[in-house]
Amino acid sequence: MTDTDPLVRFSGVRKTYGTFEAVKHLDLDIGRGEFVAIMGPSGCGKTTTLRMLAGLEEPTAGEITIDGKRMNEVSAHDRDTPLVWQSLALFPFLNVKENVEFGLKMRGVSKPDRHGRAMLWLERLGLKGFETRRIDQLSGGQRQRVALARSLVTEPRMLLLDEPLSALDAHLVIRMQGVLTRLQKELGITFVYVTHSQSEAFAMADRVVIMGHGEIAQIGKPQEIFRAPKNRFVAEFVGRNNILPGKTPGQEIVVAADRMQVSASDPGEGALPAEFLSEEFAGTGIICYFEGPEGVELKAQVTEDQLENLAPEPGQRFWLTWAPGAAHVMAGT
Amino acid sequence: MRPSDIAFRLYLVALFTFVFLPILTSMVFSLNSDRFPTVPLGEFTTHWYKTAFSRPEVWTAFGNSLIVAVCAAALSTALGFVTAYTDFRYGFRFKPAYLALALLPPTIPLVIMGLAMLAWLGRLGISGTLSGIVVAHTVMGAPFAMAICRLRLSQMDPALEAAAWNLGASQWRAMRAVVIPFCLPALISAYCLTAAVSFDEFIVAWFVSGLNKTVPVMILEILQGNVDPQINAIGTVVFLTSMALVIVAQLLILRKTNA
């Protein structure tokens, strides 16, 4: 076993519930110390994949190995795969410290040792002084950190996270993203992060796995997935992409909204005539929506200044252009 | 106060009067010196309590009732919890039928239940023993315990138990460390309620108790002989005991739950 071998390997993994195929066929390697985000719409099989890794579901076919060891028959409590739950699943009848100590207690760690390690992690996550609080006396962000401390206190090689930030307020999400990336870098352990949120996945992950209909649609670095989606499913899921017919029949190209230029007069060849529909403020800029040829919806991101200059009226005609390098030709559909 | 509020309050007073007046009357007469329940009342006395509780058979009956209630409540609660947990945790083909059967006993007419128990326990050779009454009262109490435990389990995040496994707890360990602590208020509540059911139950106990009489059976036997204010005294004690159990049960069920 060397450090370059993957920590986790899914080979030909399939999971069915009756006639429903939650995961059709999954081949995926996850490296040591890697932050992998598994992303996809609901029902795409991402949570099932995570649960199989934690041993909460058994694959119908295929094999999951951790550190080269077959895990299919290993029950959940014998694995070292702590999970941060979407609901957090903190124990309401235990206080903060007892929650954090739980995993150690189950592993038979002595009481003084448990106490020391729990206190260390509580301090590390900024929860010092909250030891004896009840769970219902904590804020959302504090509960989140208790859940993290509870999972990390056993010093696992890998942490699984199932949409852990979905219940938080927007400003807390950004802060927790910082906490998570920092922790992952400091600990050097593998994070497997399941989410439907593109911004969370792209902000934190080294590698993003996009799943759709129980299969992997694309794996790559966030930038790759954003700029070079492999197919229509990924391009649409990632969003803010224009999907246009390519030069040859059946071919499609993708132009990201922030690489689309809008002009009020026809600049000549290659420009796409489009009627303005509406605009939407989107944090980084303003997304303008247009109706292009054959009713295709087009998006272009502009700055506030640009919007003022264009002063678009609904129904007004504009021309959209893009630099040749901005267009990405998709491999399949 | 609006007229509708006044009407509502009056309605509540009328309701509680209707429900509790007979019991209250019995309590009042238990402290009344006259032998017959008549107004105007005689003097205040604890005589009937002293007489009643100087009789050894009254103490025996209370002892029997207590043993039966303690044992039947424990068994009912255990059975009820296990049934509720199987419903919570597993999906299986005949689940609706399973649940319907589990909730059936309270709908069986008590006389039928008593006769059936007498026949059945007779076959087993425990008719007329305290164990027989315990079995009968367990059957009668388990559905109530199950209902209370199901209510509590429905408030439990299903991820809670899985979180325990995920943190290294085996199924049994997770049951002990997570499911039971989570359900503890419901378990105590179910215990109190089924103890009260057993303590008060008369008809089935009358069929199967034989010579080992419980308090309600003994009350009826005294009553068959003559009208005696001692009944009021014993009845008041029985009522207060079960009332206390039911109040504890209610407080635990209604307590603000933090799931």
Asked if the structure places residue B232 within a domain, the reply is yes
Q: Which chain A residues have a beta carbon less than 8 Å from that of B89?
A: none
Q: Is the pLDDT of residue B257 over 70?
A: no
Residues 6+ apart with CB under 8 A from A228: A220, A254, A328
Asked if the structure places residue B164 within a domain, the reply is yes
Q: Which chain A residues have a beta carbon less than 8 Å from that of B171?
A: 77
Contact A83 B160 (CB under 8 A): no
**Interval A262-291 mean pLDDT:** 85
Q: Considering only alpha carbons, which residue of chain B is nearest residue A56?
A: B162
Structure confidence at residue A295 (pLDDT): 82
Asked if the structure places residue A233 within a domain, the reply is no
Query: What is the ipTM, given to two decimal places?
Result: 0.85
Burial of A98 (0-12, 13-18, 19+ CB in 10 A): middle
Q: Which of A200, A227, A254 is the last residue of a domain?
A: A227
With vertex at residue A152, the alpha carbon angle to CA A150 and CA A155, rounded to the nearest 5 degrees, is: 135
Which residue in B168, B171, B184 is closest to A106 by CB distance? Answer: B168
Which residue in B167, B173, B259 is closest to A92 by CB distance? Answer: B259
Averaged confidence pLDDT in chain A: 90
Q: Which chain B residues have a beta carbon less than 8 Å from that of A54?
A: 166
Which residue in A55, A82, A134 is closest to B167 by CB distance? Answer: A82
The beta strands (E) that lie in A110-171 are given as 158-162
What pairs with residue A318 in β-bridges?
A: A274
Asked if the structure places residue A215 within a domain, the reply is yes
Say yes or no: A18 and A149 in one domain: yes
What count of other Cβ atoms lies within 10 Å of the Cβ of residue A128?
A: 10
Structure confidence at residue A268 (pLDDT): 77
Q: CA A215, CA A45: separation in Å to the nearest integer? A: 8
Q: What are phi and psi of A206, to 5 degrees?
A: -75, -35
Which residue in B157, B173, B184 is closest to A106 by CB distance? Answer: B173
Per-residue pLDDT reduced to its tens digit, B114-143? 999 999 999 999 988 999 999 999 999 999
SS3 category, A332: coil
Q: CA A126, CA A129: separation in Å to the nearest integer? A: 9
CATH of the domain at A66: 3.40.50.300
CA distance B252 to chain A (A): 14
Say yes or no: A155 and A263 in one domain: no
What pairs with residue A208 in β-bridges?
A: A37, A220
Q: Which chain A residues have a beta carbon less than 8 Å from that of B169?
A: 77, 102, 106
Say yes or no: A186 and A99 in one domain: yes
Structure confidence at residue A231 (pLDDT): 87
Asked if the structure places residue A232 within a domain, the reply is no
Q: Considering only alpha carbons, which residue of chain A is nearest residue B185?
A: A93
Say yes or no: A164 and A304 in one domain: no
Say yes or no: A121 and A70 in one domain: yes
Contact A83 B168 (CB under 8 A): no
Which residue in B159, B164, B184 is closest to A87 by CB distance? Answer: B159
Q: Which chain B residues have a beta carbon less than 8 Å from that of A150?
A: 167
Structure confidence at residue A327 (pLDDT): 83
Contact A56 B259 (CB under 8 A): no
CATH of the domain at B201: 1.10.3720.10
Place of tokens 């949120």: A197
Contact A82 B181 (CB under 8 A): no
Say yes or no: A280 and A211 in one domain: no
Say yes or no: A221 and A252 in one domain: no
Structure confidence at residue B116 (pLDDT): 94
Structural domain range at position A316: 241-329
What count of other Cβ atoms lies within 10 Å of the Cβ of residue A240?
A: 17
Say yes or no: A174 and A287 in one domain: no
Per-residue pLDDT reduced to its tens digit, A36-53? 999 999 889 999 999 999
Nearest Cα residue to A88 out of A130, A150, A155: A150
Asked if the structure places residue A96 within a domain, the reply is yes
Q: Are A52 and A15 in contact (CB under 8 A)?
A: yes
Say yes or no: A178 and A311 in one domain: no
pLDDT-derived band at A332 (thresholds 50, 70, 90) equals low
Contact B166 A136 (CB under 8 A): no
Say yes or no: A44 and A139 in one domain: yes
Residues 6+ apart with CB under 8 A from A208: A36, A37, A39, A201, A202, A219, A220, A221, A222, A225
Q: Is the pLDDT of residue A292 over 80?
A: yes
CATH of the domain at A312: 2.40.50.140
Asked if the structure places residue B15 within a domain, the reply is no
Q: Which of A179, A199, A227 is the last residue of a domain?
A: A227
Q: CA B176, CA A153: separation in Å to the nearest integer? A: 22
Contact B163 A93 (CB under 8 A): no
Place of tokens 């329940």: B37
Number of structural domains chain A divides into: 2
Q: CA A80, CA A159: separation in Å to the nearest integer? A: 9
**Interval A186-214 mean pLDDT:** 93
Asked if the structure places residue B14 within a domain, the reply is no
Per-residue pLDDT reduced to its tens digit, A65-118? 999 999 999 999 999 999 999 999 999 999 999 999 999 999 999 999 999 999
Nearest Cα residue to A222 out of A256, A186, A190: A256
CA distance A188 to chain B (A): 21
Q: CA A38, CA A61: separation in Å to the nearest integer? A: 20
Identify the residue among A71, A81, A91 best suited for mutation to test binding to B, counting B beta carbons within 10 A and taking the highest: A91
Asked if the structure places residue A3 within a domain, the reply is no
Asked if the structure places residue B137 within a domain, the reply is yes
Half-sphere exposure of B163 (CA within 13 A, CB side): 26
Q: Are B249 and B195 in contact (CB under 8 A)?
A: no
Which residue in A55, A85, A154 is closest to B163 by CB distance? Answer: A85
Structural domain range at position B219: 56-254
Q: CA A190, CA A160: separation in Å to the nearest integer? A: 8
Say yes or no: A65 and A153 in one domain: yes
Structure confidence at residue A3 (pLDDT): 66
Asked if the structure places residue B231 within a domain, the reply is yes
**Interval A235-245 mean pLDDT:** 83
Asked if the structure places residue A2 within a domain, the reply is no
- Which residues 167-186 on chain B approach chain A with CB closer than 8 angstroms? 167-171, 173-174, 177-178, 181-182, 184
Say yes or no: A143 and A259 in one domain: no
Contact B165 A56 (CB under 8 A): yes
Q: Phi/psi zone of residue A149: left (φ > 0), alpha (ψ -120 to 50 degrees), beta?
A: alpha
- The better pLDDT of the pair A285, B196 is held by B196
Number of structural domains chain B divides into: 1
